[in-house]
Amino acid sequence: MVEKSKAPVPEVGKVYGFFDNGIISSARYEEVTITALIPYKDANTTLIAYWKEDTEYWKEDTEGMPHLYSAETDYFVKGFLTETEEEVTFVRRVDGGWFSLGGWSGTLDWDGSLLTEMKEGE
């Protein structure tokens, strides 16, 4: 399973930064509010079809982009993008961070470091 040295699991109700397609720029930045945490073991076995869709996206994205998505995740992290008003689902990246699935893929800035990096580079 995912190692303890990885990025912490985000908190439900907390607002984080999100970078569309993982591109660190102000044009790709918006905020995401975490709405739910679904343990992988539950999503994979007992949840309704809505969550089953996430497991299928994850399996497809993992196979198609093994350099980005980890082969294992401990949670599906559900979020709502403030500006675009879209739901997103994050899973583990190979480096232990979080990246969303499907059409609204992007990096979760779980500690604010990417926003700081962006501001320093402007």
90 bridge partner residues = 77, 100
Walk along the chain (122 residues) and give the pLDDT tens digit of each residue: 444 468 999 999 999 999 999 999 999 999 999 999 988 776 655 444 555 666 677 777 778 788 888 888 888 899 999 999 999 989 999 999 999 987 788 999 999 999 999 999 87
- Polymer length in residues for the chain: 122
Residue keyed to tokens 């926003």: 115
pTM above 0.85, yes or no: no
Other C-beta atoms lying within 10 Å of the C-beta of residue 75? 21
> Domain extents for the chain?
15-121
Residue 108: predicted pLDDT = 97
